[in-house]
Every structure is written in structure tokens, then in C-alpha cells.
Amino acid sequence: MKVSEIMPIKFSIVIPNYNSGEVIERAITSLISQHYRNLQIIIADAGSDDISRDIIEHYRPYFDTVIMEKDRGQADGLNKGFSYATGDIFGWLCADDELLPGALNHVCEIFMNASEADIVTGMCERIFEDGSTHMTVSDPEALIKIGVQNLIEQPSTFWRKSLHKKIGLLDLSYYLGFDWDFWARMRDFGARIVTTDRVLSRYFFSDANKCSRAGDLFAEEAFRLVRKYGPMFGGLAYIYRFIYRHFDLKGCLDVPQTCSSLRYFLYAMTRIILRATIGKKYLNMYNWHFASCQERNLKWY
């Protein structure tokens, strides 16, 4: 007997969409093929004018709710979608990603067996434009580190409705970092996270993907988030921004380095000073280099 036939947990999954073309079908079918009988699928479309509208209409019988109206960005579309959610467990799946077979059954089992869990997160397979892949590892300390790094893979993460109601709406002021902000607020509410070493989703990156081409915006929003939620009363954000602007964007963190010898010497001296002041831990947690590569039109993965 399938887990979904005996487990009472209901999932509500929102798919935000805007002109995602044919890739949205992959996301939709990955949910349908879960064969999880207690699943509510909500589509939040921001007024697409491409083929994705036809695909949504084709699969309309599988959706509990279809929202088709302009919004103020992906976070706004998600907020609209979650306002219709009636499940016990929430999550969202971007239109260009997919959930792997059996993921919901597996997450259901964890929530059923771990009553203390507010969040369940698993591994994610990242697939890049050139066909290369990278498997992320689910970190049990992800919420502890959330004030400095976002290590939570959004398509592989699910949380209780009760927690969502406490947290409130996703913050529309972020273009990229609204999920990071959401996880940080979960931490501040004392949420308890359970990790699994199972790969729950695939996260597809392409040249058109907003996460693949917004390095400067990532750095700006990461600064805001570390300043708001990070250690040293947010002071670490200023240190990271200094490293990013004066050394990372200049090639000091490239392998091999592409900066001048003088600048690299200044970078090395700065690291010595920072190691003595903020400590090796926070110095080594700096992970904005991919954004620097994006901003300089270099390969970032």
C-alpha cells in the first residue's frame, strides 16, 4: 500500500509562473506523477502571453486553484497562491524545476514520524546550462547559518501550515532573496528543521534563469539580509560587501587569480586582519563569488 493511501497529511504546492514556456509542463507533471492523493496544486500565473497558458489549460483538471492575474513579482504571486492553500504542509515549485518521484511520500513519512519538525528539507540536484550537475547537501545547521548563508534548497523544502501562518507573507521588496528572508524569519520564530539525505528535486539553471544573471542584485540583497539577520549586529554585511566590491569583483578570488599583484597583496593582508578580528569561521563563510562571476560575465558554476 502506498504511503499516500494511508497518511492523512495534505500538501499544498504553489507553482508561480510567468511566460515559462514549455518548461512549466515538467513542473506540473512532476507533481501529478507523485501519485499523492492528498495534494493541492495551485497555479499563480502573472498574466503570461506565451504557450504556458495553453499548458495550464491542458492540465486544469489537476489544479485546485488557478490564478491568472498580474502581480508585483514572484513573491506576490506566491502570496496569492498560499492564500488559497488548505493543506497541512506547504511548499512551492518554480515553473522551471521539478519534484523527483516519491518525494512527497518521503516527506510525509518524515513529518509523521517527527512531530517536532516544523520544516523538512532535502538534497537537490542542480542542472546547469552546459549539462553539468551538482548535488547539494542538506545541512542540519542550515537555520543556524541562515543569517550568513542561504543553504536551504527551496524546491526541496516543505513546512507546516501553522508555521507559515506565524511567519506571514513573503517580502515583496526582494527580487531574489525572499526565500532567504522567509527562512530567516522561520529561525527567529524558533522553527525546528529536519533534514534528509534524499534528493527531492531538480533545480534547473539556464541563461534566462533570473538566478543565473543577477549577480549585482544578489550582492545587494545579500547585504540587506546579512545586515538584518546576521551576526555582529549586522556588521558582517559591511565586511562582506567590502570584500565583494574591492577584491572579489577585481578577481582576487578567481582560480587562478586575475587581479594585480598589488591588489592580491592587499587582499591577503585584509584576510589576516579579518581573521584576527571577526574570526576564521565568518571569514570563510563568505560565499558571494558566484555573483561576482555573474556580474563579470564569467562562468559561475
CA 259 to chain centre: 31
Taking all residues of the chain, what is their mean pLDDT, rounded to a whole number? Answer: 95
Determine the structural domain holding residue 230 and report its residue range. 214-295
Tens digit of each residue's pLDDT (9 = 90 or more) over 227-242: 999 999 999 999 999 9
User: Are 205 and 246 found together in one domain?
Assistant: no
The pTM of the full predicted model, rounded to 2 decimals, is 0.94
Domain closes at, from 162, 178, 210:
210
116 domain-assigned: yes
Which residues, at least 6 apart from 234, have a Cβ–Cβ distance to it below 8 Å? 226, 227, 228
User: Are 92 and 194 found together in one domain?
Assistant: yes
User: Are 219 and 139 found together in one domain?
Assistant: no
User: Are 234 and 125 found together in one domain?
Assistant: no
User: Are 32 and 121 found together in one domain?
Assistant: yes
Confidence class for position 7, pLDDT limits 50, 70, 90: low
User: Are 229 and 173 found together in one domain?
Assistant: no
Residue 4, pLDDT above cutoff 50: no
Residue 3, pLDDT above cutoff 50: no
CB 265 within 8 A of CB 272: no
User: Are 73 and 152 found together in one domain?
Assistant: yes
Tens digit of each residue's pLDDT (9 = 90 or more) over 35-48: 999 999 999 999 99
